[in-house]
């Protein structure tokens, strides 16, 4: 198994925000990302940045001797939808990859992120869905947060009741209805499906359904439309989440949300 990885990012200082890419790369380096044989390559796709962005947010966090391909902002600039599509397209173009993973730039990960992802895909990667996600809340954005500090979806508490019920049944994958999907922080496709999605999105994906607040909402809604066009009923979601959202300052003015993350030390166990 070989996975081509792309991270979509933007310098949030352009909108008076806080950057998280460096922290995300530091978190990724805590895992076996840079040494695991399943990782084919990493591409970082920038959708707008100040001159010192790479110096501050990328260069200090790439281990010595490791290679990263960086795609700069187009001369004409790009929207968030365009940059998300660029990340998918550039990762899907990697020859020799079996899978394509697209990450956003504000994440924490299981310590065993790569091992758990590989094992989970070996168990569930042939499910009849066009896309997989390594985190989803199964709730509205405003409800998607741990209620108590230190709470875990594996222990006592009332947060993320749907995922808690899934865990109680022993579920490790769940279908998320395509029509309601949101949360594109950590997505995975078989490479041919990622190529199909890249072709569907094109270079300038745009959704205009008359709702002004949808104009720059990333590509979550476009993923819904793509899934519906394929006739898919659901996307496949890892239970519990393998990633945690850490971006408290949103690019799109959403309230801060979290995934039902079990803590860094949790590890996915293969089905026997």
CA distance readout (Å), 207 to 210, 211, 213, 222, 229:
9, 9, 11, 7, 15
List, as own/partner pairs, every contact residues 93-96 make where C-beta atoms lie below 8 angstroms and the sequence separation is at least 24, other chains included. 93/195, 94/4, 94/40, 94/41, 94/43, 94/191, 96/2, 96/40
Measured in degrees and rounded to the nearest 5, phi and psi for residue 213 equal: -75, -5
Query: 198 — phi, psi (to 5°)?
Result: -60, -40
Integer Cα distance of 101 and 188 in angstroms: 4
CA nearest neighbour of 84 among 211, 226, 260, 265: 226
- pLDDT for residue 223: 93
Prediction pTM value:
0.93
Question: In this predicted structure, what is the pLDDT of residue 208?
Answer: 58
Which stretches does DSSP call E strand in 178-233? Answer: 186-190
pLDDT of the residue at 211: 63
pLDDT at 215: 58
pLDDT of residue 204: 79
Domains of the chain: 3-245 (3.90.550.10)
Burial (Cβ within 10 Å: 0-12, 13-18, ≥19) of residue 185: buried
Per-residue CA distances from 156 to 159, 237, 240 (Å) = 9, 23, 15
What string of pLDDT tens digits covers the 272 residues of the chain? 999 999 999 999 998 889 999 999 999 999 999 999 999 999 999 999 999 999 999 999 999 999 999 999 988 888 888 899 999 999 999 999 999 999 999 999 999 999 999 999 999 999 999 999 999 999 998 899 998 888 999 999 999 999 999 999 999 999 999 999 999 999 999 999 999 999 999 887 776 566 665 555 557 788 999 999 999 999 999 999 999 999 876 555 567 899 999 999 999 999 86
């Amino acid at each position: 198994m070989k996975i081509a990885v792309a991270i979509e990012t933007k310098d949030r200082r352009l909108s008076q925000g806080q950057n998280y890419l460096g922290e995300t790369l530091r978190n990724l380096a805590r895992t076996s990302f840079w040494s695991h044989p399943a990782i084919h390559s990493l591409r970082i796709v920038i959708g707008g940045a100040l001159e010192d962005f790479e110096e501050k947010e990328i260069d200090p966090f790439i281990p010595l001797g490791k290679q990263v391909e960086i795609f700069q902002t187009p001369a004409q600039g790009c929207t968030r939808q365009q940059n998300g599509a660029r990340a998918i397209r550039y990762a899907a173009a990697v020859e020799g990859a079996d899978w394509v993973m697209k990450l956003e730039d504000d994440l924490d990960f299981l310590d065993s992120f790569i091992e758990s992802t590989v094992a989970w895909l070996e168990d569930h990667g042939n499910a009849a869905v066009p896309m997989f996600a390594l985190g989803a809340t199964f709730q509205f954005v405003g409800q998607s947060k741990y209620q108590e500090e230190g709470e875990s979806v594996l222990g006592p508490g009332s947060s993320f009741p749907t995922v808690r019920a899934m865990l109680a049944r022993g579920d490790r994958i769940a279908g998320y209805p395509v029509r309601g999907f949101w949360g594109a922080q950590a997505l995975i496709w078989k490479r041919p499906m990622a190529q199909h999605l890249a072709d569907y999105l094109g270079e300038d994906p745009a959704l205009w359904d008359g709702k002004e607040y949808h104009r720059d909402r990333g590509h979550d809604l476009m993923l819904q439309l793509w899934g519906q066009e394929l006739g898919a009923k659901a996307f496949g979601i890892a239970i519990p989440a393998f990633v945690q959202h850490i971006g408290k300052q949103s690019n799109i003015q959403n309230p801060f949300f979290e995934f039902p993350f079990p803590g860094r030390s949790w590890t996915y166990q293969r089905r026997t």
